[in-house]
Amino acid sequence: MNVPNHIGIIVDGNGRWAVKRGKSRSEGHLAGSKNLDTLCQYIFDKGVKVVSLYVFSTENFKRSDEEVNYLMDLFVKKFKEDFKKFSKKGIKIVFSGRRQPLKKEILDIIDDVTLQTKDNKNGILNFCLNYGSHAEIIDACKKMIEDKVAIDDVNEALFNKYLYNDLPNLDLLIRTGGELRLSNFMLYQAAYAELYFTNTLFPDFNKDEFDQALDSYNNRDRRFGGINYEKKNC
């Protein structure tokens, strides 16, 4: 079994999961957050080194104040309570996204968790929160200009350092919830990612469903633009 080094997940379908059950959308987010805990433990136990989760896009601020406030409170609560569990297992927690217009309460917990887990070496859990890929690329360019980077010094390794976090490229990108698009998630890092879309709504995306995604990944022929001469059809 070939285990991807970096997996990204677009955790979509929590609202629909709740509505289908006659519950509030918030209950769907809560169910999604519980599923994240179990799933991430499982994914790291499988040997995956980096997991990136799209938990709030810059565009998600267009939702009702009630939903946005619920999600922000949930993030604060979960980061306060649950990060210790990951930290104990040596997982470093990082955040990707713009700080504006996040409130001080969430920025403080983001800074605290980042600092407390910065020396952990067993894996990286990257929460993409108030994240958008276009914003990330533009912010990186602005910082490079601010730093007066010489044109001949610009290369992929340096550019990566200017992104929100210097992470390896995505190997596998999973989207739950049935939509067939990337919605501005890690577009630069997904250049050669294998894409896996499932209709399963995120709270139902359990270990078995994840194993199916892994099986699918293992059946892909990753050529990175080259040719696999060991394959008979080449």
Catalytic residues: 12, 60
Q: How far is the CB of 99 from ligand FPP (least distance, A)?
A: 17
Q: Give the separation between CA 9 and CA 90, rounded to whole angstroms.
A: 21
Q: Is 168 helix (H, G, I), strand (E, B) or coil?
A: coil
Angle subtended by helix axes 104-117 and 65-88, to nearest 10: 20
Tokens of 129: 């929160």
Q: 176 or 189: whose CB is closer to ligand FPP?
A: 176
Element (H, E) at 96: strand 91-96
The residue within the footprint of ligand FPP, chosen from 9, 26, 27, 33 (CB under 6 A), is: 33
Q: Which is nearer to ligand FPP, 16 or 160 (CB)?
A: 16
Candidates 30-38, 108-116, 136-144, 155-163: pick the segment binding ligand FPP (CB under 6 A). 30-38
Count of residues binding ligand FPP (CB under 6 A)?
20
Q: How far apart are CA 47 and CA 3, in angstroms?
A: 7
Q: Any residues with CB less than 8 A from the CB of 141 and at least 6 apart, and which?
A: 162
Q: Which of residues 65-124 bind ligand FPP (CB under 6 A)?
A: 71, 74-75, 78
Please say which residue, 141 or 187, places its beta carbon nearer to ligand FPP. Answer: 187
Residues 6+ apart with CB under 8 A from 201: 12, 13, 14, 16, 17, 20, 176, 177, 178
**Least CB distance to ligand FPP at residue 65 (A):** 14
Token match 């469903």: residue? Answer: 209
| Closer residue to ligand FPP in complex, CB, 57/189 | 57
User: Hey, how many other C-beta atoms are within 10 angstroms of the C-beta on 33?
Assistant: 20
Output phi, psi for 52, to 5 deg: -110, 130
> Using CB under 6 A, which residues numbered 118 to 177 contact ligand FPP?
127, 177
Site string for ligand FPP, 9-28 (x = CB under 6 A): --xxxxxx------------
Nearest distance from C-beta of residue 36 to ligand FPP, angstroms: 6
Q: Does 51 bind ligand FPP (CB under 6 A)?
A: no
Pick 162 or 202: Cβ nearer ligand FPP: 202
| Footprint of ligand FPP on 184-213 (CB under 6 A) | 202
**Are the C-beta atoms of residues 231 and 223 closer than 8 Å to each other?**
no
Q: Which residue ranges make up the site for ligand FPP (CB under 6 A)?
A: 11-16, 29, 32-33, 36, 55-56, 60, 71, 74-75, 78, 127, 177, 202
